[in-house]
Amino acid sequence: MRAPFGARVTTAVSLRGPLCVGVDPHPSLLADWGLPASAEGLERFATTCVEAFAGDIAVLKPQSAFFEAYGSAGIAVLERLIVAARRAGALVLLDVKRGDIGSTMAAYAAAYLAEGAPLAADAVTLSPYLGFGSLDPALDLAARTGRGVFVLALTSNKEGASVQRATGGGGASVVQEIVDEAAARNAGASPLGPVGLVIGATVGRLELDLSQLNGTILAPGFGAQGGTLADLRTVFGDSLRHVLPSSSREILRHGPDVAALRGAALRVRDSLAVAHPL
């Protein structure tokens, strides 16, 4: 039985530094790397990313949609990427943003979190906007298998604010209710619980109480999307020690040369480590 996800991500960050590299094979990026927009090009992209990052970076985050776009062949590439990255020592956070109810949510959970599932990763992203309780099948299975989930809380896209910052039924903001639900499921876990949150690196000063979360915060948008070290300090304050900044384009633009990619990732990682209070 593997160690709980909260313990594993804490160890990974302590050994490899606080960085998540997004593996996002946009068609335009494949073209920039001189690769065809095909399953073959996708395979070469994925293999290059594993070689460049998986031996040194704490977490790799493949975006499932870019692999799904190539059908079964693309999903097969994703399966191989997950296995290879984990064998090289990286944690794999599969960015799928799934959210549904009942037996359908249970099926999504089985696809990404069950033992022996071809797409089983160390953690996945989930959407709580059918109600946080709808995620219970995934939360329960993750807890049983030592895996994690990252629940969308406050995203940086402008469309999200109308829902996420709205006032919920209890009088708090919807996003605060999501934080509180995650905190309740992490209560008592050490060093951290299995339920993380996704909060954008560029959302500005938070009016959120994160003090009881006891979980990891994924902060996408660092680097090319505008997020800076100063933004991380502004957004997260005392909770920065639990933040895993995520960068993709800022690093991937250095490809397809493996050494250049690895060097770019290590520079970003080391710049974060200076300011990251472990």
Mean pLDDT is lowest, of 8-17, 161-170, 191-200, for: 161-170
Q: What is the pLDDT of residue 235?
A: 86
Structural domain boundaries enclosing 28: 5-275
The whole-model pTM stands at: 0.95
Instruction: Quote the crossing angle between the two packed helices 258-275 and 39-53, to the nearest 10°.
Output: 50
Length of the chain: 278
Find the CATH number of the domain harbouring 49. Answer: 3.20.20.70
Q: What is the pLDDT of residue 222?
A: 83
pLDDT score of 276 more than 90: no
Strand ranges (E), 127-263: 148-154, 195-199, 217-220, 243-247
Domain count, the chain: 1
**Phi, psi dihedrals of residue 215, rounded to the nearest 5°:** -150, 175
Percent of the chain scored above 70 by pLDDT? Answer: 97
In sequence order, the 6+-apart residues with CB closer than 8 A to the CB of 135 are: 99, 105, 126, 128, 149, 151
For 155-169, the pLDDT digits (tens) are 887 788 878 777 888
Catalytic residue (choose from 26, 80, 97, 253): 97
pLDDT score of 17 more than 80: yes
Q: Please give the angle made by the CA atoms of 128, 62 and 47, to the nearest 5 degrees.
A: 165
Q: From residue 52, how far is each of 141, 178, 213, 233 by CA, in Å?
A: 31, 35, 33, 28
61 flagged as catalytic = no
For 209-258, the pLDDT digits (tens) are 999 999 999 999 887 666 788 888 888 888 999 999 999 999 999 999 99
Q: What is the pLDDT of residue 94?
A: 98
